[in-house]
Amino acid sequence: MSEHQRRVSGAPAQPKPFRPLRFVAVFVALYAALHALYFAVPDRVLRQVVHYYAIVAPSAGLIKLAAPQEPVRALAGTLESPQASLSIVRGCDGAGVAFLLAAAVLAYPARRRRKLLGVAGALALAYLLNQLRVVGLYFVAAYRHDWFDLLHNFVIPTFIIVVCCVAFAWWASGSAAVQPAPARVR
């Protein structure tokens, strides 16, 4: 049955086979395109708009909720208090993890609806993990500064990447649109 006949008859589309090399090529292209768009955003806009409204202000609110006595305030791209100053800069805003997950979901052969749900879930997960990271790093910077470099540079990024890999594997394993590529007979 041709694709046209399938659409006319209402029969479901055949699942696309998983082709690892195609997946990697599309993933890398999408990841690079997302980063290129990200680096096209001026630093001032990123810091004063995106970082402030999407990361810093919500983080200050979470900190005040968790520790009402904490004198933290949100200033442009920075969480400020007498104990610590934590600046959110390009690359520390969770964008890289969001791009990794979104590119992986979009490159994976699945139905459009599943991809849209996967991208939405990926962005929500990346945002949530980054918010928890920022709030946690604020408290570390304020009260256990000697732990900051290890946690900021190694432990937390590794943890986030592992969580994202598990989330992607879980999402991909539930994709009904994927079948193994047919074996080639020679």
pLDDT digits (tens, 9 = 90+) for 134-161: 999 999 999 999 999 999 999 999 999 9
Domain ranges of the chain: 17-175
* Confidence tier at 2 by pLDDT (50, 70, 90): low
- DSSP code per residue over 75-142: ETTEEE-SS-EEE--TTSSSHHHHHHHHHHHHHS---HHHHHHHHHHHHHHHHHHHHHHHHHHHHHHH
pLDDT beyond 60 at 179: no
Least confident span in 8-22, 47-61, 108-122: 8-22
Which pLDDT score is estimated for 183?
A: 61
Compute the Cα dihedral for 136, 138, 140, 142 and give only its sign.
negative
Better-predicted residue by pLDDT, 185 or 21: 21
Per-residue pLDDT at 175: 75
Q: Considering the entire predicted model, what is its pTM?
A: 0.84
Give the pLDDT confidence score for residue 87 in this predicted structure.
Answer: 96
* pLDDT recorded at residue 18: 83
Residue 60 near residue 84, CB atoms below 8 Å:
no
Confidence tier at 14 by pLDDT (50, 70, 90): low
Average pLDDT of span 43-68: 96
Query: pLDDT of 100-109, one tens digit each?
Result: 999 999 999 9
Q: Grade residue 44 by pLDDT with cuts at 50, 70 and 90.
A: very high
- Find, among 37, 152, 150, the residue nearest to 88 by Cα: 152
Chain-wide mean pLDDT for the chain?
Answer: 90
pLDDT of residue 173: 92
Q: What's 41's DSSP letter?
A: S
